[in-house]
Amino acid sequence: MTGTIERLSGLLREKKVSCRELTQAYLDGIARDNSVLNAYVRTTKEQALETAETVDRKIAAGELLSPLEGIPMTIKDNISTRGIETTCCSKILQGYTPIYDATVWQTLKQQNAVLLGKTNMDEFAMGSSCETSCHGGAVNPFGTGYVAGGSSGGGASAVAGNLAVYALGSDTGGSIRQPAGFCGLVGLKPTYGTVSRFGLIAYASSLDQIGPICKSVSDAALVYDAISGRDPMDSTSVGQKEPVAPQLAKRPENLTIGVVKEYFQGVDAQVEEALQSAIRTYEKMGARIVDLSVPSVSYALPVYYILACAEASSNLGRYDGIRYGYRAAHYGSVHEMICKTRSEGFGPEVQRRILLGSYVLSAGYYDAYYKKAQNLRGAVIKGFNEAFARCDVILAPTVPMTAFPKGFAVQDQVQTYQTDVCTVPVNIAGIPALSMPCGYDQKSLPIGMQLIANRFEETKLLQTAYWFEQEMAGEIYRKTEWGCRQYA
């Protein structure tokens, strides 16, 4: 009893299954498979069953259900959930239970979304394989020797492994799109400001954005419509332009797709081949393809690692062992307590980024690194503006390769940072992008295609994706089901 939001919501309405049965089926799946997938770090069984009963009472009373009502889902461990431990998969936040809900969860809770638990992630969302988590990494349902991606690896593993219908993740430099790409799913990073960040534990505030990881484009549209909107609790919130789901099936008129050559440098041959075939599919369907060059895209990776680390070093200053979370057991002075707490509480990747961030912000290096990166951020934005004067949507790889084997991403940090080359440019520019499956490599691992649109153009972006999905659905879903059975 698994499937998309659309399918399961239909079964609930037609009374073919009760919400309690549906929820129990997912809880049973978690009890059976989570020891293999390591997708969940915490489950919320009682709360889930309680919500399920509320939904069943509504169904029995003949009340109308909203699109996400009664659907079992999961939330990344950096999104605050009142009364439920939220740790960013870091030792430093162990035992921290928020006293308020993130706006996104408050909204979904009001619609009786059934929360199954909190999912695994790289510590403080810093990483590309989920392996910097203090719980160890989440596993890819398409092959247990491979990672689910990062940082929202747990959410992607749960959805691909049928342990949740959809997941909420966060994307600072690719953390929704990359794991979605590695696990054959649809992951949407919305325009900066359209989804409230209130209650999202900050990594790099000017880049962070919450979004959905789903099994289909229509599901992504439904979740995006539900969680977006202006929020007075987030000073950078602007809200959504228009609801996407009602217009999803409309074909984008005179669609021009841009193929930016800088995105294809150093891409694995099988990934390149799958993308070229997707381009031909769009062409056959009637889209116009234009070749473009956006040189500033090549600067995005160093710009990202300077800005993200700088903002992280400031945001993570609050974990000092005084107000909440972990505190070192033995210390003499206050200074020693803070030092020991941070050295013992943060893992090596988080410490590395705090040090890098403090370095680029320090007097003497500020102009050479931070200021230069800010200037180049402007160049990346300008590059995209120019590109969108010539096309509607850009098509690119999500990642230059398919899922990493376990252990690969923790061997060489700089090499791992380089694998974020295709995902970070949109965060720098604040524009929306999604990843969706477009094929499989010879190891039967999914290949992710990235579609990018101009700011607030989610409707056009998701319509373009939906169009492709309709054309490819049979092929993509058949293989997805196969992949999901692999570990069972």
Residues at the interface with ligand GLN (CB under 6 A): 125-128, 151, 171-175, 203, 308, 420
**Has 76 been annotated as catalytic?**
yes
Catalytic residue among 18, 76, 152, 215: 76
Report d(CA 147, CA 160) in Å as an integer. 12
Report d(CA 99, CA 423) in Å as an integer. 33
According to DSSP, the β-strands at 433-440 and 186-189 are: antiparallel
Q: How far is the CB of 298 from ligand GLN (least distance, A)?
A: 17
- 429-465 b/e (C-beta count within 10 Å ≥ 16 → b): bbbbbbbbbbbbbeeebbbbbbbbbbbbbbbbbbbbb
Closest CB to ligand GLN among 171 and 458? Answer: 171
**Which residues, other chains included, contact 233 with Cβ-Cβ below 8 Å and sequence gap of 6+?**
103, 196, 198
Q: Count Cβ atoms within 10 A of the Cβ of residue 324 and give its class: 0-12 exposed, 13-18 middle, 19 or more buried.
A: middle
Question: Using CB atoms, what's the residue nearest to ligand GLN?
Answer: 175
Report yes or no: 222 and 245 within 8 Å, Cβ to Cβ.
yes
Closest CB to ligand GLN among 241 and 352? Answer: 352
Closest CB to ligand GLN among 151 and 237? Answer: 151
Q: How far is the CB of 90 from ligand GLN (least distance, A)?
A: 13
> Tokens in use for 460?
């056009």
> Tokens in use for 338?
């803070």
Catalytic residue among 157, 175, 216, 313: 175
Closest CB to ligand GLN among 350 and 438? Answer: 350
Q: Count Cβ atoms within 10 A of the Cβ of residue 32 and give its class: 0-12 exposed, 13-18 middle, 19 or more buried.
A: exposed
Closest CB to ligand GLN among 125 and 394? Answer: 125
Angle formed at CA 450 by CA 384 and CA 240, multiple of 5 degrees: 65
Paired with 187 in beta bridges are: 213, 435
Closest CB to ligand GLN among 8 and 297? Answer: 297
**Has 152 been annotated as catalytic?**
no
Q: How far is the CB of 304 from ligand GLN (least distance, A)?
A: 7
Catalytic residue among 90, 133, 151, 313: 151
**Has 237 been annotated as catalytic?**
no
- 54-72 b/e (C-beta count within 10 Å ≥ 16 → b): ebbebbeeeeebebbbbbb
Report d(CA 96, CA 166) in Å as an integer. 25
Q: Which residues are catalytic?
A: 76, 151, 175
